[in-house]
Structures are given as structure tokens and as C-alpha cells.
Amino acid sequence: MSRAELVDQDLARAATDLLRHDARLPDLDLSVRSDGRVLHLTGQVDSACQLASVRELLGRLAGVLAVWDWVRVGGRAPVVLDLGCGATTQSPENIGVDQRRTDAVSVLADLRGGLPFADASVDRIFTVHLLEHLMDFLPLVDECHRVLRPGGILHILSPWWQHVNAVADPTHLRLFDVQTVKGICQRAGADLRWYPLHAARDEATVFADLTPLAPSAPAPGATRMARFFD
């Protein structure tokens, strides 16, 4: 077994222990596994507040890069978009969105022209190896903000700018760092703001889980920002 597999095994065990024994999370019907130090959470909870607490506590485990969930809340399955999915979505339940037809694509759309979904109609959005292909990715980030429900989450995954993968692909137009995520959360004058649930990187990849902030909500405090950003 490789070191990476052993690390995932250990993270999954730690996360499972937390779900079973933490007094703040009583009797939750959830399962968790780790893949590349990303925690994958499935099951069901009664309320969005319960799920938010679980995500926050799991995200505090050392070594976790992101927390991805497909959890039913109050009996309702989440609506999950997989933008720029190509031939593969992150889960079979995800709605694949791309400008070219593949077996994984359910909705054809040029993501540079917006998202063909109603306001506040989606629970989770994956942008996996997508934003680095756009010269200006902020309009798409704003569109994600528009279509996410309150408490929804935007998952970002992009090559870290110092890894060869960031520059080896000639279709990559932008470079990413965790500080890029900080810039998204602190855009000067932006009407559509984000709160960082998690942000991290390994030797090759930048990860971020962001949730939309309501217009009246306070900006992330200095303590929260210091947790993830320089």
C-alpha cells in the first residue's frame, strides 16, 4: 500500500471516529471516505445546520484538503452541478455541464456565457480543472453565486501554479494559488461575496470550498481568513 493510500486510510478512520463519538454530532446517519485527502461524505441529516457543523468539524482534521458531500437534507437529495465535466463527473448523481456532448454531459452550455439554471436552484457546484482554462473566470464564479442556494457550496480544484501541471497544458490560461482563492473572497467592490469553508493545497493542486454570503452578512473575519491564507 502506498503512503498516499495509508494517509487516506488514516484520515477516513479519524473522520469516522469523529462522526461516531463527537458529542456535538449525535446519531447522524453519515459515512465518510478519503480520496486524495478529500473527504467524501454521504448519508442524510435532518437539517442544513447539522450538515454545516459536520463539514466544519471534518475540515479541522489535519491533512484534509476539502470536504465534498452528497448528503440528503430533510429527505431531499442535493442538486449538484459538475461544470466542464468532460467525460467524467465527480459522482454519477451530478449534472454534467459542458459545451461538448459526452456520455457524462446532461446539459450543453458554453460556460463563458453563463449558466442555464435559475437563481438559487443548486446545492453544490464542482469546478474541477476548469477555471484555469478561462482567461476571465470571475464571471463564471459570479454565476455560481447566483445559482447556488443559501448554504450552497462551490468546489474549486485547480493546478497549483508552482507545479509542472499548471504550465504543461497549453490550454491553461490562468495560474492558481491559495492566495487566488483569498482574492476571490476579498474582491474589492464585489456585490457577490464568498465565505471560505476550506482552502488548501498539496504539492500539485489548489482546493477550495466556498459558500455564498448574503448581501447583509458580515465579511469573513481576520481569524477566519488567517486560518487559510497568508
**Which of 76, 97, 121 is a domain's end point?**
76
Q: Residues 49, 119: one domain?
A: no
Domain with 57 in it: 1-76
Q: Residues 20, 89: one domain?
A: no
Q: Which three cell numbers stand for residue 38?
A: 478529500
Report the C-alpha gap between 185 and 162 in whole angstroms.
22
Q: Residues 220, 184: one domain?
A: yes
Q: Residues 52, 96: one domain?
A: no
Amino acid symbol at 71: V
Largest CA distance in the chain: 50
- Residue 137 is predicted with a pLDDT of 97
* Total residue count of the chain as it appears in this document: 230
Report the C-alpha gap between 70 and 100 in whole angstroms.
25
What is the 8-class DSSP label of residue 142? H
Q: Residues 161, 119: one domain?
A: yes
Q: Residues 31, 93: one domain?
A: no
Which of 135, 110, 115 lies closest to 125 in space, CA to CA?
115
- Residue 230 is predicted with a pLDDT of 84
Q: Are strands 38-45 and 66-73 parallel, antiparallel or unpaired?
A: parallel
- Of the CA atoms within 13 Å of residue 204, those in its CB half-sphere come to 6
Q: Residues 57, 116: one domain?
A: no
Report the C-alpha gap between 205 and 160 in whole angstroms.
5
Any idea what the CATH number is for the domain that residue 70 is in?
3.30.1340.30
- Residue 5 is predicted with a pLDDT of 97
Q: Residues 122, 163: one domain?
A: yes
- Residue 188 is predicted with a pLDDT of 76
- Residue 170 is predicted with a pLDDT of 96
**Which of 76, 104, 133 is a domain's end point?**
76
Helix axes 3-21, 48-59, angle to 10 degrees: 140
Measured from the Cβ of residue 215, the count of other Cβ atoms closer than 10 Å reads 8
Q: Residues 122, 10: one domain?
A: no
Q: Which residues contact 15 (CB under 8 A, 6 or more apart)?
A: 32, 34, 39, 58, 61, 64
Report the C-alpha gap between 77 and 93 in whole angstroms.
10
- Residue 39 is predicted with a pLDDT of 98
- Residue 92 is predicted with a pLDDT of 95
Query: What is the pTM (predicted TM-score) of this model?
Result: 0.96
Q: Residues 82, 172: one domain?
A: yes
Q: Residues 61, 27: one domain?
A: yes
Q: Which residues contact 34 (CB under 8 A, 6 or more apart)?
A: 7, 8, 9, 11, 12, 15, 40
The list of the chain residues with pLDDT below 70 reads none
Q: Residues 53, 166: one domain?
A: no
**Which of 42, 76, 110 is a domain's end point?**
76
How many distinct structural domains can be found in the chain? 2
| pLDDT tens-digit series, residues 58-111 | 999 999 999 999 999 999 999 999 999 999 999 999 999 999 999 999 999 999
Q: Where are the alpha helices (DSSP H) in the chain?
A: 3-21, 48-59, 138-147, 164-168, 178-185, 222-228
- Residue 189 is predicted with a pLDDT of 77
Any idea what the CATH number is for the domain that residue 225 is in?
3.40.50.150
Report the C-alpha gap between 84 and 95 in whole angstroms.
11
- Residue 27 is predicted with a pLDDT of 85
Q: Which residue has the cell 507545479?
A: 163
- Kindly provide the b/e burial profile for residues 100-116, where b requires at least 16 CB atoms within 10 angstroms of the residue's own CB: eeeebbeeebebeeebe
% of the chain exceeding 90 in pLDDT: 93
Report the C-alpha gap between 126 and 216 in whole angstroms.
26
